Amino acid sequence: MKAFGTNWDWRLLLLVAALALTIVAMIGFHLIRDQHVANAVAVVDITGSMNTRDMGNPVGSETRFEAVRAALVRLIQNLPCQSRIGLGLFTERISFLLFNPVEVCGNYDALESAFSDINWRMAWQADSYIAKGLYSAIDIASSIKSDLIFLTDGQEAPPLPYTGTPPFPGKVGDVKGLIVGVGGQQKSPIPKYDEDGRQIGVYGPSDVPQDNRIGQAPPGADKREGYNPRNAPFGAMPEGGDEHLSSVRSTHLKDLARNTGLTYAELQNTPGLAGPLLASTSIRTIATSTNMGYVPAFVALISMVVLYALAWASSPGRPLSGPPKRN
């Protein structure tokens, strides 16, 4: 028998080690560690301007709806298991909760299907009071003790009155999360559809409110042509503007984020929402068990490769200096 330390001894040791490591890998062992997870409800703006085609790469290859649906699917793909995501919709001035946050890994198929079905036909009103819809979404998130992802282009319809954004009635920072601005920086036409969902053109200046003529008239309205305190408090001149064109209203959304304690992110410039969401929300950790069986399996594979290399190197029939030369 050869002395300990010879090639045969190392081969035997490698073979035994590979067998033992393979058994350990098959049985598996788990590492318990604290994992940062999310618990949030995603509320999506489903008003007509979200049909605008100014997203994707190249720009214009996707509608805002398509970009939002893809971003939400990527979100649940990138979040760690035990994270929870719910879904809500916003139109007019109210956000509506479809379902409470559910665990993303065990409910992946159902979540992906729900995100893929989001579209403008689900809207129950045509107006778009973004600030009020956000405040409503914050109330929902607060009531279910979750964080918030509010996805919108930020276009108020009708436009804000001269008094500006309505004040936030809640506590700043009570609900954490993201306001995600959706859309391009350049103004683009908003597609118009018939009742069967066929595009029949784009919205023109007379199709949307260009000015806010609800409530109290702004100072100086009495100087406008056709002013009448009862019948024409805003004057008789037709509205003018470019509200029939749409772009992401970043300034407005940043103001809303600052006023509510949320974090603003722009979808077109954000590769994924998982990182910004985890960075902006309440820190929630959960003890998770990770199967580390792949480690001994990898070491066993390396041991077998080394064993094979040693066997090949010591093979009696292996040529030592290449093929013999011909005379």
Query: What would the pLDDT profile of 239-266 be if each residue is shown by its tens digit?
Result: 678 999 999 999 999 999 999 999 999 9
Q: Please tell me the predicted confidence (pLDDT) of residue 19.
A: 85
Does 38 fall in a domain? yes
Where is average pLDDT lowest: 164-178, 246-260, 305-319? Answer: 305-319
Question: Residue 206 to residues 53, 139, 203, 242, 245: CA-CA distances in angstroms?
Answer: 21, 35, 8, 10, 12
- Read off the pLDDT of residues 33-57 as tens digits, 9 standing for 90 and up: 788 899 999 999 999 999 999 999 9
Clarify whether residues 58 and 89 are in a common domain. yes
Clarify whether residues 131 and 232 are in a common domain. no
Does 327 fall in a domain? no
pTM greater than the 0.85 cutoff: no
Does 305 fall in a domain? yes
CATH of the domain at 52: 3.40.50.410
Clarify whether residues 20 and 118 are in a common domain. no
Clarify whether residues 61 and 182 are in a common domain. yes
Clarify whether residues 303 and 221 are in a common domain. no
CB atoms within 10 A of CB 315: 9
Does 318 fall in a domain? no
Q: Please tell me the predicted confidence (pLDDT) of residue 188.
A: 97
Do 152 and 130 meet the contact criterion of CB atoms below 8 Å apart? yes
Does 322 fall in a domain? no
Clarify whether residues 204 and 217 are in a common domain. no
Does 326 fall in a domain? no
Amino acid symbol at 257:
A
Does 91 fall in a domain? yes
Query: Could you give the number of structural domains in the chain?
Result: 3
Does 142 fall in a domain? yes
Mean pLDDT on 89-105 = 97
**Domain boundaries, position 228:** 211-242
Clarify whether residues 98 and 228 are in a common domain. no
Report whether pLDDT(226) > 80: no
Clarify whether residues 85 and 18 are in a common domain. no
Clarify whether residues 41 and 126 are in a common domain. yes
Distance between CA atoms of 323 and 319, rounded to whole angstroms? 7
Distance between CA atoms of 91 and 44, rounded to whole angstroms? 9
The torsion angles phi and psi of 97, rounded to 5 degrees, stand at -85, 125
